[in-house]
Amino acid sequence: MNIDGLGAIAEVAIGLAGFSGVFVALTRTDSFAPPEQVRLSFLLYTSLGALFLSLIPHALFTASLSEVVAWRVLGILAVLHAAGLLGFLSKALSLKVDYPDIFPTRLVAVQGSQIFVTLAFAVCVLAVPLRHKQSFFIGALIVLLAQAALVFVRLLFFRRS
């Protein structure tokens, strides 16, 4: 696997995860409302997930593991992480009732679609022939970054007054 490009994904993920710390520091109150808690958690989960999933190949492919075993481990980790995203979709759907302005139907649909695309790419890392695995793995990481970027923009510009 060519792991050179994964460093750029890791850098973007660090930037998005770091934003959440700045956001918390600048908007510090006694407690965050449930929508902000979910969105910050989602931002951290997606960006840190993309970060770790982009760094793990460095260890797996430079170790003495076979390529097949390394891809199996990466596929399992990607599927587990993507499956965890379903919990955020469930939480967004439950908060949509009380906060329709923060979780509009179109946004929940876009984020839900991104989650299922990430999950599909992750499953493909396990299922497709060896020569195609890298493309699906990179695709899953890029969709994770897109999810984090969407939450980042929403946190900046769409806050409950």
Structure confidence by residue, pLDDT tens digits, 52-64: 888 888 888 887 6
Q: Provide Rg for the chain, Cα atoms.
A: 17
Contact 158, 111 (CB under 8 A): no
Q: Where are the alpha helices (DSSP H) in 5-66?
A: 6-26, 34-62
Q: How far is 14 from 43, CA to CA, in rounded Å?
A: 11
Nearest to 85 by CA among 42, 146, 142: 42
Residue 118 token pair: 């990430």
Which pLDDT band, with edges at 50, 70 and 90, does 26 fall under? low
Give the C-alpha separation, 160 to 35, whole Å: 9
DSSP state for residue 134 in the 8-state scheme: H
Is pLDDT at 2 greater than 50 in this prediction?
yes
Mean local confidence (pLDDT), 142-152: 86
Phi/psi region, residue 158 (left: phi>0; alpha: psi -120 to 50; beta: rest), is: beta
Amino acid at 36: E
In which band, very low, low, confident or very high, does the pLDDT at 30 lie, cut at 50, 70 and 90? low
Q: Is the pLDDT of residue 33 over 80?
A: no
Whether the Cβ atoms of residue 151 and residue 39 lie closer than 8 Å to each other: yes
Please answer whether residues 93 and 108 qualify as being in contact, where contact means their C-beta atoms are separated by less than 8 angstroms.
yes
Residue 128 has pLDDT above 80, yes or no: yes
Cα-Cα end-to-end distance for the chain:
48
Q: Where are the domains of the chain?
A: 6-157
